[in-house]
Structure 1
Amino acid sequence: MVGDDTHLTEEASAGSVGAPVPSRAVPTPVPSLLVIRHGQSLWNALARWQGMADIDLSDLGKEQARIAAAQLAEGPHEFRRVYASKLARARDTASIIADHLRLDTPTTDERWNEADAGPWQGLTPREIKEQWPGFLERNRRPDGFEPYDTVVQRSLEATTELLGSMEPDQPTIVVTHSGVIRSLRRHLTGASERAPNLGGLWLHLVRGRVRPGHDFDPLSAAEVREFSEGPGQVN
């Protein structure tokens, strides 16, 4: 399902933390970002943790990006810009979307990069369980894995900076990674669901603060998820 925050207003969202509140009263549009995850990568297909490894999109990932781009083009929003992390899987997803929407070449920012997975980079969940028994089950991370607080700090800084530079009628797309979206979602709502490929959420700037909006999942009804999810990996 594709969430639609077209009518989100300051009145509707000023007090919201967590689930978005339907708009009411006189509309006062706010700056809005659609933050989404890249398409399936070659390592997603193998269920390998990627972290900062610069892994390309798979053919399925490119098709996922094209499907999402078509839905965005048909939707109610007139997007103005596309941003991405500096990693190829996000950058190439953003380029496919920008081309379809006839927008400028995406701007990259390393603050949107995936969390550094440290010694888990390149490993499968099975290999991690063998070498770090109980870590995945207890949601623990090894030394060398980028801390949650650091991921939140840099991605929230990028979010706030970008939203602060936008007008309310200039919705913008950011293509980033599962770990970044999950960290932002957890920080803003307390929930920590992983975003599927091309899934994500809307973020809004309301009275100087970043607020969460609706989820976005353009592939929920499409037959393009096969092998796109590896259990427990950072993407």
Structure 2
Amino acid sequence: MARLILLRHGESQWNATNRFTGWANVDLTAAGEAQALWAGRLLAAHELRVATAFTSVLTRAIRTLWIALHASGQAFVPEHKTWRLNERHYGGLTGLDKTEAAKRFGAEQVARWRRGYADRPPPMNDPEHARLQADRRYRDTPVPRTESLKDVVARLGPWRAELDRALEAGPVLVVAHGNSLRALVSQLLRLDPAQVPGFEIPLANPLLMELDPDGRAREPRYLDADRAARLPHPA
């Protein structure tokens, strides 16, 4: 069976200050760097030899990949970056403190935006969206103004063929974000959309999946059992 390792980035500067990050390009904290280092050491301890790596175009994920590969003695592994693995676009919530957002919009509404499958936050305003669209990493990219998790599942679609080809050559490491990984896990486990809001991907804990020939994940497990989060069973 093919082997796939999923890794959420280490703690970012806006994770530490409880802000909605989305496509904002923030870096890791010192704690996040240490988490990425530990993730790489776990890969080495479990003798997981990666053939190819994928990540988003956001710094927190890229640096997590670099640190983890170096720590596992695999800095030479080919890596591919794609905006399709970016975090979910939080639209007008981007940069807001999550507690303040709950006070402004109501805790129930913010919870629906955060954990609902098809709920989109308010769109990003014109000036902020124009600045994001002008970023050269998004040249020829249809930058959204906001996204639901359902939208993230859809944007992963064209990339999945590239992932499948890479898996034919050997184990693949994907370093991405909480919501892009939730979207990918929901596909690999064949989850019903109603199951998706009920699980969280922990920071910097490698999730190992063995994939059947049809691409279905079997018995996924986190390498650091002490920080493992519950994964839903297929419907």
C-alpha displacement at 1:212, in angstroms?
A: 5.5
C-alpha displacement at 1:49, in angstroms?
A: 0.8
Which residue does 1:40 correspond to in 2? 11
Q: Higher mean Cα deviation, 186-195 or 82-91? A: 186-195
Which whole-Å deviations, capped at 9, do the CAs of 1:91-121 have from their partners, x for residues lacking one?
0000111222223263211111111100011
The runs of at least 4 consecutive aligned structure 1 residues that moved more than 6 Å come to none
Matched, 1:166 2:140: no
Which residue does 1:73 correspond to in 2? 44
Identical pairs, percent: 27
Write the letter of the residue equivalent to 1:124: D
> Is the CA contact (8 Å cut-off) linking 2:208 and 2:223 kept in structure 1?
no
Write the letter of the residue equivalent to 1:38: H
TM-score (norm 2): 0.72
Which whole-Å deviations, capped at 9, do the CAs of 1:21-50 have from their partners, x for residues lacking one?
xxxxxxxxx222211100000110011110
C-alpha displacement at 1:156, in angstroms?
A: 4.3
Unaligned runs of 5+ residues in structure 2 are: 124-145, 229-235
Structure having the higher helix fraction is 2
Unaligned runs of 5+ residues in structure 1 are: 1-29, 223-235
For residue 136 of structure 1, the aligned residue among 105, 110, 134 is 110
Write the letter of the residue equivalent to 1:97: A
| RMSD of Structure 2 on Structure 1 (CA) | 2.4
> Is the CA contact (8 Å cut-off) linking 1:198 and 1:217 kept in structure 2?
no
For residue 74 of structure 2, the aligned residue among 102, 125, 140 is 102
Instruction: Give secondary structure in 2 for the equivalent of 1:115.
Output: coil
Matches within 5 A, 1:1-235: 30-100=1-71, 101-104=73-76, 106-133=79-106, 134-138=108-112, 139=116, 140-144=119-123, 145-167=146-168, 170-187=170-187, 188-190=190-192, 191-192=195-196, 193-199=199-205, 201-203=207-209, 205-211=211-217, 213-218=219-224, 220=226
Q: Report the Cα distance in structure 1 between the residues aligned to 2:5 and 2:19, rounded to whole angstroms.
A: 26
> Is the CA contact (8 Å cut-off) linking 1:64 and 1:219 kept in structure 2?
no
Q: Report the Cα distance in structure 2 between the residues aligned to 1:121 and 1:197, rounded to whole angstroms.
A: 19
Write the letter of the residue equivalent to 2:184: L
Q: Report the Cα distance in structure 1 between the residues aligned to 2:223 and 2:20, rounded to whole angstroms.
A: 22
Instruction: Give secondary structure in 2 for the equivalent of 1:162.
Output: helix
* Distance of aligned partners of 1:76 and 1:173 in 2 relative to their CA distance in 1, 3 Å threshold: same
Q: Report the Cα distance in structure 1 between the residues aligned to 2:22 and 2:201, rounded to whole angstroms.
A: 15
